[in-house]
């Protein structure tokens, strides 16, 4: 067992290990009772059917808040929501800076201003390939190809050893709008004198081969758009600047103008243009120009690739968009993939468009999207280059993590740790896996309120969604006699018109009157006991009527 006064380098994930999204991890250096910490990424995931009303979920940073005097800073690998989306919600409570490349820095500023967020962050610019010191850590951002500009692996050096935290990445020799992965720098890491731990993306660890290139997608988009007879609409991730460049270039070759629809698209492309990432790309038109252009002279790029109900694609499919419509013979290209959990919503939109005789093209038909994550062949290449002593699979669900760990062992990596959120791995000098060492959890953004799942109203909403609601209100005097009511309000319970002599309201009212009549005066004058008896009777009658127990709330007022 390590001496508690001995310096150690440790790794702890708070989110993103066992799920895709909500990425947040920390590295600590120093003796067990006095470590300095850096945090990598601060992302969100999105609420699903099990969290009604919850849009965003993020990792609970309570442990880091307790260690806040020793937290030196937050380092963002890139500006996808699952890696930076919680920074403005969580990091203002920390008195330490955020380090980000220019594009991510600009994205944070735009999000703060666009969402009218009062909290601000001390964001300091980091430059790829230029190391900087942060307490006992030396930090270097290394360019990696991905589906967003300025994605980075982070090399963390300490006197005891180093860790390469890959973030999201792939090996694309021909990306669009961004430089390729810095293979030479990664290969140089392989000459390391200090031991190296690789903390690595596992998203595509079950897929053989090498990911296709953005260059191939660009060629296909050019071919498809050139062959189209009428309008072409394309939906993709708003942050995928390379894909937007490919669409714009294809549109120009087809003698078409590009129209944007969606706030996030305007926000991201404005940032990209200000940073010089859209040189040679003509200014985009706003959606107001859409109906004034001939059908064969425009390409629409729109938000909503994940089926979001308020986004442009969904509104177009439902025929409720204020400025845009698609007609029979037009084409919609889904240049994206459905994030797990969003498949049903995306399919619903595609079906609505097909019913309008709009031609749908997805990756099942043509190569119109590629993943930004490494397949098995790319993972093997990275192992060969950096020669890790330790592998920790992260960024994935259990099946992805297991496949990645199996691959690492087969490739001869000395130590492979299969971990989950809250586990601690002592990396150097002595490696050790401590299961559930740190208390972790989730926070919900419920409207404007950041709260724990227990504090949120989700459990009550779920109960209401299954059982409906019956409210009963009545006034009694001090003798337990009804002087007003009962007033009955029923929500979410079926009301058939036939086969019932009385309505459900009448059935409940008769039951309440029967309860009161059967109770001795002393008991029914006790409003608490009367309330409990009416609740039982109401639930029983509705169950007999419906076959399910409703949520029942009884309000007894003594006058």
- What would the pLDDT profile of 26-40 be if each residue is shown by its tens digit? 999 999 999 999 999
Please give the Cα distance from 392 to 27 (Å, whole number). Answer: 13
Q: Are residues 380 and 526 in the same domain?
A: no
317 and 399 co-located in one domain: no
Note whether 199 and 221 are same-domain residues.
Answer: no
Q: Please tell me whether residues 231 and 340 are part of one structural domain.
A: yes
| Same structural domain, 229 and 152 | no
Q: Is 460 a domain residue?
A: no
Cβ partners under 8 Å of residue 180, min gap 6: 145, 171, 172, 173, 174
CA distances (Å), 402 to each of 17, 357, 388, 421, in order? 11, 43, 18, 15
Instruction: Give the pLDDT means over successive 10-residue stretches in the chain (559 positions).
Output: 78 96 97 96 90 91 96 98 96 96 97 88 97 98 97 98 98 95 96 92 97 96 97 96 98 98 95 96 95 96 91 95 96 91 90 97 96 97 98 97 98 98 97 96 91 89 88 91 92 75 87 91 86 94 90 93
CATH number for the domain spanning 546: value is 3.10.20.580
Q: Are residues 178 and 244 in the same domain?
A: no
Question: Do residues 202 and 394 lie in contact, with contact meaning Cβ atoms separated by under 8 Å?
Answer: yes
Backbone angles phi, psi at 397, to 5 degrees: -80, 175
For residue 312, report the phi and psi dihedrals to the nearest 5 degrees: -60, -45
Mean pLDDT score of the chain, rounded to an integer? 94
Q: Is the peptide bond before 72 cis (omega within 30 degrees of 0)?
A: no
Asked if 358 and 328 count as a contact pair (C-beta separation under 8 A), the reply is yes
CB 215 within 8 A of CB 174: yes
Domain of 260 in residue numbering reads as 214-361
Residue-level pLDDT at 45: 93
Number of Cβ within a 10 Å radius of residue 289: 15
Distance between CA atoms of 524 and 516, rounded to whole angstroms?
Answer: 7
The residue length of the chain stands at 559
Reference 372, options 220, 200, 175; nearest CA is: 175
Q: Are 362 and 343 in contact (CB under 8 A)?
A: no
Smallest CA-to-CA distance from 244 within 168, 285, 302 is with 302
Are 28 and 44 in contact by the 8 Å Cβ rule? The answer is no
- Kindly state whether residues 197 and 114 are assigned to the same domain: yes
Asked if residue 3 is part of any domain, the answer here is no
How would DSSP label each residue in 140-182?
EEEEEB-SSSSEEEEEEE-SS-EEEE--S-B--SS-SSSPPP-
Q: Do 200 and 323 lie in a common domain?
A: no
Judgement on whether residues 395 and 520 belong to the same structural domain of the protein: no
Share of the chain above pLDDT 90, in %: 81
- Structural contact between residues 161 and 194, judged by C-beta atoms closer than 8 angstroms: yes
* pLDDT, tens digit (0-9, with 9 covering 90-100), for 205-259: 999 999 999 999 999 999 999 999 999 999 999 999 999 999 999 999 999 999 9
Distance CA 167, CA 83 (A): 9
pTM higher than 0.75: yes
DSSP lists the bridge partners of residue 27 as 11, 38
Q: What is the DSSP letter of 214?
A: H
| Residue 162: inside a domain | yes
Which of 303, 333, 361 is the last residue in one of the domains?
361
How far apart CA 211 and CA 358 sit, in angstroms, is 30
Number of domains in the chain: 3
- DSSP label of 99: E
- Residue 192's Cβ-side half-sphere holds a number of Cα atoms within 13 Å equal to 26
Q: In this predicted structure, what is the pLDDT of residue 52?
A: 85
Point out which residues pair with 551 in neighbouring strands. Answer: 469
Contact 103, 275 (CB under 8 A): yes
Residue 458 belongs to some domain of the structure: no
287, 353: one domain: yes
Phi and psi at residue 445, to the nearest 5°: -95, 100
């Amino acid at each position: 067992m390590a001496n508690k006064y001995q310096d150690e380098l440790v790794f702890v994930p708070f989110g993103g290990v066992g799920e895709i999204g909500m990425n947040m991890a920390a590295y600590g250096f120093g003796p067990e009772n006095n470590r300095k910490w850096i945090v990598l990424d601060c992302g969100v995931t999105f609420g699903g059917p099990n969290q009604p009303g919850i849009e965003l979920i993020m990792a609970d940073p309570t442990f880091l808040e307790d260690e806040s005097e020793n937290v030196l800073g937050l380092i963002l690998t890139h500006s996808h929501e699952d890696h930076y989306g919680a920074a403005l919600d969580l990091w203002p409570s920390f008195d330490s800076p955020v380090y980000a490349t220019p594009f991510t820095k600009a994205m944070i500023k735009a999000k703060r201003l666009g969402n009218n967020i009062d909290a601000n962050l001390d964001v300091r610019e980091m430059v790829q390939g230029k190391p900087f010191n942060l307490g006992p850590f030396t930090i270097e951002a290394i360019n990696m190809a991905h589906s967003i500009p300025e994605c980075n692996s982070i090399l963390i050096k300490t006197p005891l050893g180093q860790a390469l935290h890959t973030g999201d990445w792939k090996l694309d020799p021909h990306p669009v709008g961004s430089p390729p992965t810095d293979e030479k720098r990664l290969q140089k890491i392989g000459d390391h004198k200090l031991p190296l731990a690789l903390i690595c993306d596992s998203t595509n660890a079950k897929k053989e081969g090498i990911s296709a290139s953005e260059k191939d997608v660009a060629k296909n988009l050019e071919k498809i758009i050139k062959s189209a007879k009428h309008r072409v609409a394309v939906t993709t991730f708003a942050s995928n600047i390379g894909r937007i460049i490919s669409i714009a270039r294809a549109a120009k070759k087809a003698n078409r103008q590009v129209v944007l629809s969606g706030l996030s698209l305007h926000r991201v492309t404005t940032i990209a243009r200000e940073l010089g990432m859209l040189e040679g790309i003509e200014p985009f038109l706003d959606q107001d120009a859409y109906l004034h252009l001939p059908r064969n002279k425009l390409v629409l790029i729109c938000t909503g690739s994940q089926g979001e109900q308020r986004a442009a694609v969904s509104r177009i499919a439902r025929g409720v968009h204020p400025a845009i419509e698609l007609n029979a013979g037009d084409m919609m290209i889904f240049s994206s993939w459905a994030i797990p959990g969003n498949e049903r919503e995306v399919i619903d939109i595609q079906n609505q468009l097909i019913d309008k005789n709009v031609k749908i093209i997805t990756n099942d038909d043509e190569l119109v999207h590629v993943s930004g994550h490494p397949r098995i062949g790319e993972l093997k290449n990275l192992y060969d280059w950096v020669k890790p002593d330790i592998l920790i699979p992260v960024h994935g669900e259990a099946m992805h993590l297991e496949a990645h760990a199996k691959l690492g062992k087969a490739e001869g990596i000395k130590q492979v740790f299969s971990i989950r959120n809250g586990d601690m791995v002592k990396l150097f000098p002595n490696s050790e896996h401590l299961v559930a060492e740190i208390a972790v959890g989730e926070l919900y953004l419920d409207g404007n309120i950041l709260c724990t799942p227990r504090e949120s109203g989700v459990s009550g909403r779920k109960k209401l969604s299954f059982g409906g609601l019956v409210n009963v209100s009545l006034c009694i005097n001090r003798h337990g006699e009804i002087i007003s009511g009962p007033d009955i309000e029923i929500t979410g319970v079926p009301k058939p018109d036939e086969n019932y002599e009385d309505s459900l309201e009448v059935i409940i009212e008769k039951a309440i009157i029967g309860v009161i009549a059967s109770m001795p005066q002393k008991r029914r004058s006790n409003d608490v006991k009367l309330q409990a008896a009416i609740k039982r009777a109401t639930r029983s009658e509705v169950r007999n009527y419906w076959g399910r127990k409703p949520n029942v709330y009884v309000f007894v007022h003594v006058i």
